[in-house]
Structure 1
Amino acid sequence: MSNERNRFWDKVIKGPGPSDCWIWTGAIGDDGYGRFWTTPEVGKQKMIRAHRYALGLVHGGLDAIADLEACHVCDNPICVRAEAGSSTHVLLGTREANMTDRATRGRHNLQFAAEFFRYQPPSQRGPRSRALRDLIREQGYDRQAIKAMMLGLSRGQGTLF
């Protein structure tokens, strides 16, 4: 395994269950998504969202997925569980498929969603994703704690989405 892949997997804590999220414990941007730096050329770095890098590992590299979007089925922005089978939490899709999924989950109309689905604007996802990451770093994988954080039930946090 390459050093880059090793660096990536060193920042992932996999849940023990067959349907658990794989939590990114590295850098997290203000939008709440994991950040991973690659070195496509000697002396140059490029930032890739962690879940997108995971998809690249599964589907033949980042160039192979360049025209597709990453869709989270678990609604956890720091989940990087990308697999070829049905247990994947992050899958490839078109822009249209991603926007349809977004609308289906109530994240397309921010005013409506804020009132009825407790939608969290992107500016709030960074701190909340970092709180979840820190919880997993401190306590190890805890399915109930992750569920509580996802639902906004612990540490006074709102939901991640």
Structure 2
Amino acid sequence: MSDEQARFWSKVIKGPDPADCWIWTGAIGDDGYGRFWTTPATGEQKMIRAHRYALALVHGGLEAIEACEACHLCDNPICVRAENGEGSHVYVGTRETNMADRASRGRHNRQAAAEFFRFESKKERAPKARALRDLVIDRGYDREAIKALLLGLSRDQATLF
């Protein structure tokens, strides 16, 4: 594993169950997605969304997915669970497949993260993504605390949606 990859994985907290998201704990942009900085061969730093970087690790590098979209099955913008096989939450697609997938799932996605982020603008999604990240940093992958946050049930915090 390269130093860059080790730096990436040091910012990820994986849920313990097979269906859990892997939460990005690094920087989050104003669009609600995780951000990771790479240093390509040019020597200049380049920002890439964290879920895209995770997908590139699975598919042979950033060049291999350059013309593709990184699609989320879980609708959680800070999930970086990209794997080969059925457990993956992030997969390679086109703009068309991404939009068709989003439309086809509608309200049928039962993951709490989907309801938390689904109908938000990018500007509204960013503070929620940061709240989820901060919770996971503070408490680790605490499923009940995450569920309470996603559903707006925390006593010490106002509803987030």
TM-score under structure 2 length normalisation? 0.86
Percent of matched pairs sharing the same residue = 70
Alignment match, 1:77: 77
CA distance in 1, matches of 2:71, 2:148: 22
Residues in 1 aligned to 2:74 and 2:118: alpha-carbon distance in whole angstroms: 16
Distance of 1:42 and 1:7 partners within structure 2: 19
Partner Cα separation in structure 1 for residue 40 and residue 118 of structure 2: 39
* In structure 1, distance between residues paired with 2:94 and 2:153: 33
Q: Structure 1, residues 7-66: CA drift from partner, whole Å, max 9, x if none?
A: 000000011111111000000001110000000035310000000000000000010011
The residue aligned with 1:156 is: 158
Q: Please tell me whether the aligned partners of residues 22 and 79 of structure 2 are also in contact (alpha carbons under 8 angstroms).
A: yes
Q: Secondary structure at the match of 1:32?
A: coil
**Separation in structure 1 between the aligned mates of residue 97 and residue 118 of structure 2, nearest angstrom:** 23
**CA–CA distance in structure 2, aligned partners of residues 15 and 157 of structure 1:** 23
Match of 1:27 in 2: 27
Unaligned runs of 5+ in 1: 108-116
What is the total number of aligned residue pairs between the two structures? 150
Cα distance between partner residues in 2 of 1:148 and 1:70 = 28
**Aligned 8 A contact 2:75 2:118 in 1:** no
Write out aligned runs for 1:96-135 (5 A). Answer: 96-106=96-106, 119-135=119-135
**Residues of 1 paired with 2:52 and 2:34: CA distance?**
9
2:34–2:49 contact (8 Å) kept in structure 1: yes
Q: Is the 8 A contact 1:128 1:157 kept in 2?
A: no
Partner SS, residue 71 of structure 1: strand
Does residue 53 of structure 2 align to residue 61 of structure 1? no
* One-letter identity of the residue aligned with 1:83: E
Q: Which runs of 5+ in 2 are unaligned?
A: 108-116
Answering whether residue 36 of structure 2 is matched by residue 36 of structure 1, we say yes
Determine the C-alpha separation between the residues in 1 that align with 2:36 and 2:66: 16
